[in-house]
Amino acid sequence: MSNKQSGFQMVDLYLILVAVTWGVNATIVKVGLNAGFSTLTFNSIRFVIASLTSILILIAAQRAKKFSWSDIPALFVMGLLGHTLYQYLFIEGTNLTTAGNTAILLATIPIHVAWVSILLRIEQARWYIWMGLVLSFSGILLVFGSQAGLSFLSSEHLIGDLLVVGGGLCMGLYTALSKKWLSKYTPLEFSTYTMVLGTIPMLLLATPQLAAQDYSAITTTGWLCLIFSAVFALAVSYFIWNWGLQKIGSTRTAMYGNLPPAFAMISGVIYLQESITMYQVIGALLIIGGVLVARFGNRIGSKDSDPAISTPDSAPIKKDAS
pTM: 0.76
Q: Which one of 5-9, 64-68, 181-185 scores highest in mean pLDDT? A: 181-185
Burial pattern 254-293, b for ≥16 Cβ within 10 A else e, equals bbbbbbbbbbbbbbbeeeeeeeeeeebeebbebbbbbbbb
Greater confidence, 113 or 163?
Answer: 163
Side-chain half-sphere CA neighbours of 53 within 13 A: 20
pLDDT at 321: 35
Contact 187, 322 (CB under 8 A): yes
Give the pLDDT confidence of 241-293 residue by residue, as tens digits: 999 988 888 877 887 877 877 777 676 666 655 566 677 677 777 777 777 77
pLDDT at 176: 85
Give the pLDDT confidence of 49-74 residue by residue, as tens digits: 999 999 999 988 866 566 788 999 99
Side-chain half-sphere CA neighbours of 92 within 13 A: 18
Nearest to 45 by CA among 185, 231, 176: 231
* Confidence check: pLDDT of 208 > 90: yes
Burial pattern 119-140, b for ≥16 Cβ within 10 A else e, equals eeebbbbbebbbebbebbbbbb
How many residues in total does the chain contain? Answer: 322
Give the pLDDT confidence of 82-92 residue by residue, as tens digits: 999 998 888 88
